[in-house]
């Protein structure tokens, strides 16, 4: 009887969440208020927690990479992360919660991390890079380029992207966690935490409570790691960062670089073009993941790619001008857990903003979010496993599997932006995949637009030395 009651309550809850998604009706640039246009549910805390953890870690990684290149200390990184959390909280609440609820939150552009040393070596300036990325992103969103490219990305290409991003992300997180555990002389912590995480995730999937994976697995991972002897201590004390851009862009304070000159903008232009080119596969993956987890009739709750590009671009320009320690893209550690929990964007966006402010001012939660057991498990169960599952679900026909396989191969050959562009051209032109779909496209959509996209990506990649075996052109 109790089992039937539990199943009934889960079904009722599922129906409530599905109904809210189906009835979501948001208007661009209109004021949306909680209680009237959307509601807060306990499920909204899931993407808020995952997004905040991901944000702290990714901004710290970007700021830390820049700091290492410019010879800046850990105090600079901590101050920069605090300020970035306050900036993104403003955009999460004002834009994604109130004015543009179909825009995903502006997150951090992870694929740009390995390019930061190249940016600095080429004479680039962080502020110049941020402004260039923002301006190019605004141009793309103004001409609806994001949504057009989304529509041109076939099912097989989407599946291949999700599979690649999920597999590579999962392996990298596992490797990083294991390396940390072995370096600290406690390999047992890695084994115990991952083993328990697998069991919990399997049980949650079985009882259809997968949305609980992030908070439950993260808490259990932290407790297990402590029980197995892992070290942890709070280091970041409460406080406020410097808020003046003149401090951050001073000659002897902040970045200690001064304001950028024209030569700096010229130096970063190829990297800015590549950064914006990399947005499209990122945004496509996030939108597709929503479509797979939301009810088919929930069109009004889906992420608007062009609005997301607009918010990311404006946030990039504002954030770079104020302090500069972030490269923006669609916030994957927020939108993927939100899709799993079947929640629209605005409610969780406001809670994410709240958590970011709390972490920035209090300080101590930043240490907990960046602790390896909590961080790695949250990203594994909240982002990369779901991406893998979604990609596998999409591969239902031989034609789809062929396209997905070529996409995986191309991504592994260079990177996801090349794999996406190259496979989109082959898929749309009918070289591989569904030829009936190819014949239904216009000549521009079938050949010329995908070819132009691939050409731009190849030129940008070649310019900064990202094509295997080919030295940087610039």
Where would I find the H helices in 143-261? 145-152, 155-183, 187-206, 213-227, 245-248
pLDDT digits over 222-239, tens only?
999 999 999 998 988 899
Which residue in 416, 414, 436 sits closest to 427, CA to CA?
436
Q: What is the pLDDT of residue 118?
A: 83
pTM for the model = 0.87
Task: Tell me which of 273 and 48 has the higher pLDDT.
Answer: 48
Contact partners, residue 177, CB within 8 Å, separation at least 6: 190, 193, 194, 372, 373, 376, 377
Q: Which DSSP category does 104 fall into?
A: P
Q: What is the pLDDT of residue 203?
A: 95
pLDDT digits over 125-181, tens only?
999 999 999 999 999 999 888 888 888 899 999 999 889 989 998 999 999 999 999
pLDDT digits over 20-34, tens only?
999 999 999 999 999
Separation in Å, CA 344 to CA 7, 97, 335, 349, 355: 24, 10, 9, 9, 18
Alpha carbons 155 and 23: distance in angstroms, whole number: 26
Q: What is the pLDDT of residue 1?
A: 47
Separation in Å, CA 76 to CA 17, 80, 82, 305: 42, 6, 10, 33
Contact partners, residue 7, CB within 8 Å, separation at least 6: none
Three-state secondary structure of 167-185: HHHHHHHHHHHHHHHHHCC
pLDDT digits over 322-342, tens only?
987 899 999 998 999 999 999
Q: Which two tokens stand for residue 214?
A: 């992030």
Alpha carbons 91 and 326: distance in angstroms, whole number: 14
The number of beta carbons lying within 10 Å of the beta carbon of residue 154 is 25
Query: For 254-265, what is the mean pLDDT?
Result: 93
| Cα-Cα end-to-end distance for the chain | 70
Rounded percentage of the chain residues whose pLDDT exceeds 90: 64
pLDDT digits over 357-389, tens only?
999 999 998 888 889 999 899 889 988 898 899
- Least reliable range by pLDDT among 110-114, 168-172, 395-399, 428-432: 110-114
Q: Which DSSP category does 94 fall into?
A: I
Q: Which two tokens stand for residue 14?
A: 């599922």
φ/ψ (deg, to 5) at 326: -150, 145
Task: Tell me which of 159 and 5 has the higher pLDDT.
Answer: 159
Q: Which two tokens stand for residue 197?
A: 């995480």
Task: Tell me which of 125 and 123 has the higher pLDDT.
Answer: 125
Average pLDDT, the chain: 91
pLDDT digits over 77-119, tens only?
999 999 999 999 999 999 999 999 999 999 998 878 878 888 8
Q: What is the pLDDT of residue 3?
A: 58
């Amino acid at each position: 009887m109790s089992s039937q009651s539990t199943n009934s309550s889960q079904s009722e809850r599922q129906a409530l969440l599905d109904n809210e998604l189906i009835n979501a009706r948001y208007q661009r640039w209109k004021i949306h208020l909680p209680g009237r246009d959307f509601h807060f549910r306990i499920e909204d805390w899931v993407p808020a927690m995952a997004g905040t953890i991901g944000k702290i870690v990714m901004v710290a990684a970007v700021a830390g990479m820049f700091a290492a290149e410019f010879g800046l200390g850990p105090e600079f990184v901590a101050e920069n992360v605090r300020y970035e959390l306050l900036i993104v909280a403003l955009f999460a609440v004002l834009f994604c919660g109130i004015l543009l609820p179909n825009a995903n939150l502006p997150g951090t552009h992870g694929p740009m991390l390995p390019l930061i040393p190249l940016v600095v070596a080429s004479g680039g300036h962080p502020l110049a890079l941020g402004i260039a990325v923002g301006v190019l992103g605004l141009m793309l969103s103004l001409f609806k380029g994001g949504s057009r490219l989304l529509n041109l990305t076939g099912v097989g290409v989407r599946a291949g992207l999700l599979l690649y991003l999920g597999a590579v992300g999962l392996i990298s997180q596992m490797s990083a966690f294991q390396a940390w555990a072995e370096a600290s002389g406690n390999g047992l912590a890695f084994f115990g935490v991952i083993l328990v995480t697998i069991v919990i995730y399997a049980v949650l999937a079985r009882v259809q409570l997968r949305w609980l994976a992030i908070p439950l697995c993260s808490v259990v991972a932290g407790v297990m790691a402590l029980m197995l002897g892992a070290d942890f201590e709070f280091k970041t004390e409460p406080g406020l960062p410097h808020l003046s851009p003149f401090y951050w862009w001073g000659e002897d304070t902040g970045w200690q670089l001064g304001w950028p000159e024209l030569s700096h903008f010229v130096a970063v232009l190829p990297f800015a073009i590549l950064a914006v080119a990399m947005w499209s596969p990122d945004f496509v993956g996030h939108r597709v993941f929503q479509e797979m987890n939301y009810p088919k009739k929930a069109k009004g709750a889906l992420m608007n790619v062009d609005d997301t590009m607009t918010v990311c671009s404006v946030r990039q320009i504002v954030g770079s001008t104020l302090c500069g320690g972030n490269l923006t893209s669609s916030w994957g550690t927020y939108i993927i857990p939100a899709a799993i929990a079947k929640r629209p964007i605005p409610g969780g966006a406001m809670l994410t903003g709240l958590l970011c402010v709390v972490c920035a001012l209090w300080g101590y939660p930043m240490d907990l979010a960046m602790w390896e057991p909590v961080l790695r498990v949250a990203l594994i169960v909240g982002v990369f496993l779901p991406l893998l599952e979604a990609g596998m679900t999409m591969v239902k026909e031989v034609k789809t599997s062929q396209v997905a396989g070529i996409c995986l191969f191309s991504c592994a050959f260079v990177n996801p932006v090349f794999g996406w562009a190259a496979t989109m051209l082959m898929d749309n032109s009918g070289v591989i995949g569904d030829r009936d779909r190819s014949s239904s496209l216009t000549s521009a959509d079938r050949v010329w637009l995908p070819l132009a996209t691939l050409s731009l990506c190849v030129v940008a990649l070649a310019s900064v030395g990202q094509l295997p075996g080919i030295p940087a052109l610039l």
